């Protein structure tokens, strides 16, 4: 079973290194500069759960005689890179191969289904906080490294079982889900709330809770997301909602969405893919969602301003 990881950044590099360490046949598709760095230094993961240093198999293009075809292609790119990713992986996938996307939300699934067929697109989600250091190693920021995958169609691809068996040997907190889209909805609800709150307020959960109406804003966002999910047939369990409320109202919490870190470095965000999609679903089903619309508009304004600044900088140079 040959596995192709698209990229060797935070998510893909971390899980790919753990799979390689467990004996998986893993190849990383990366840009030439990253390939040169990996050739010189290897792929390093620095983690409180155990460091990893591997010599990875690396390619910069796929589909030719040098790379061959792959049984599983794992997508861990940002949503705004999905178009380029599809162009890259299409020649790499074997005729019976499957794609495992680890992107947040749902907006990417329709595009992948159209390209490869729903029966060849698995569901997956990752709970992992990592960053790619300037020196090239992947730094794991806490002790959470959870991965869920599952089939979105019946019968499942025969490749799902051996993939699950490999992941079970990695030391990752891994689960083979019987309801992967339900699990994805749970994360979509939480992430939309977290990103909506922390990006709009440009602060951590703990800081937001110290403001006059911060807790009401956070809980209001959560309630709107739950209402949207209900219109799509998904109602989180009482236990799941309690866990989310506890996480999102924990005093002193330094938690923030990775989207806020994207803003702080002046980078692109997944606003359209996450909050934009949630707002679109709310409008389609007549769900009143004023806080989601405010949060999304805030991120749209940031993106407009970011593009103008970048254009001005290019013009001046």
Q: Where in the chain is the domain with CATH 3.40.50.720?
A: 2-178
Rounded Cα gap, residues 79 and 71, in angstroms:
23
Please check the confidence at residue 86 and state whether its pLDDT lies above 90.
no
Bridge partner residues of 26 (DSSP): 3
Question: pLDDT value at position 65?
Answer: 52
Q: With cut-offs at 50, 70 and 90, classify the pLDDT of residue 64.
A: low
Give the architecture (CATH level 2) of 183-313.
Answer: Orthogonal Bundle (1.10)
Rounded to whole angstroms, the maximal C-alpha distance in the chain is 62
- Mean confidence (pLDDT) of the chain: 93
Query: What's the whole-number mean pLDDT along residues 158-174?
Result: 96
Query: What are the pLDDT digits (tens) for 181-209?
Result: 999 999 999 999 999 999 999 999 999 99
Cis amide bond preceding 155, omega within 30: yes
Q: 54-63, 180-189, 207-216, 293-302 — which is least confidently predicted?
A: 54-63
Catalytic residue among 37, 57, 153, 187: 187
187 flagged as catalytic = yes
* Helix or strand (DSSP H, E) at 130: strand 123-132
Please check the confidence at residue 129 and state whether its pLDDT lies above 80.
yes
The residue among 235, 244, 221, 273 whose CA lies nearest residue 79 is: 273
Q: Where in the chain is the domain with CATH 1.10.1040.10?
A: 183-313
CATH number for region 2-178 = 3.40.50.720
Q: With cut-offs at 50, 70 and 90, classify the pLDDT of residue 80.
A: confident
Q: With contact defined as beta carbons under 8 Å apart, do 200 and 294 qualify?
A: yes
The reported pTM is 0.90
Contacts of 80-85 with CB under 8 Å at 24 or more apart are 80/268, 80/270, 80/272, 80/273, 82/108, 82/111, 85/6
The length of the chain is 317
Query: What's the whole-number mean pLDDT along residues 309-317?
Result: 84
Cα 263 from chain centre: 17
């Amino acid at each position: 079973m040959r596995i192709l990881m698209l990229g060797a950044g935070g998510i893909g590099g971390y899980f790919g290194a753990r799979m390689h360490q467990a004996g998986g046949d893993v190849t990383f598709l990366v840009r030439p500069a990253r390939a040169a760095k990996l050739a010189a230094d290897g792929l390093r993961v620095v983690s409180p759960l155990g460091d990893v240093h591997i010599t990875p198999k690396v390619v910069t293009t796929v589909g030719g005689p040098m790379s061959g075809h792959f049984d599983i292609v794992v997508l861990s790119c940002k949503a705004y890179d999905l178009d380029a990713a599809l162009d890259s992986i299409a020649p790499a996938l074997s005729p019976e191969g499957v794609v495992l996307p680890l992107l947040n939300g749902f907006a990417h699934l329709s595009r992948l289904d159209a390209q490869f067929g729903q029966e060849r697109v698995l569901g997956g989600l990752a709970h992992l906080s990592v960053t790619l250091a300037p020196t090239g190693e992947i730094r794991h920021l806490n002790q959470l490294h959870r991965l869920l995958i599952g089939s979105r169609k019946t019968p499942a691809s025969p490749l799902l079982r051996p993939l699950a068996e490999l992941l079970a040997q990695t030391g990752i907190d891994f689960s083979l889900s019987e309801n992967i889209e339900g699990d994805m909805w749970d994360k979509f609800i939480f992430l939309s709330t977290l990103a909506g709150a922390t990006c709009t307020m440009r602060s951590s959960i703990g800081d937001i809770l110290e403001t006059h109406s911060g807790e009401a804003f956070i809980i209001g966002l959560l309630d709107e997301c739950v209402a949207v999910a209900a219109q799509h047939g998904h109602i989180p369990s009482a236990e799941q909602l309690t866990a989310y409320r506890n996480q999102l109202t924990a005093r002193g919490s330094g938690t923030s969405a990775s989207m806020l870190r994207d803003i702080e470095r002046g980078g692109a965000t997944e606003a359209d893919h996450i909050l934009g999609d949630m707002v679109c679903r709310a409008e389609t089903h007549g769900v009143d969602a004023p806080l989601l619309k405010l949060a999304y508009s805030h991120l749209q304004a940031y993106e407009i301003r970011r593009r103008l600044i970048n254009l001005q900088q290019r013009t001046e140079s």
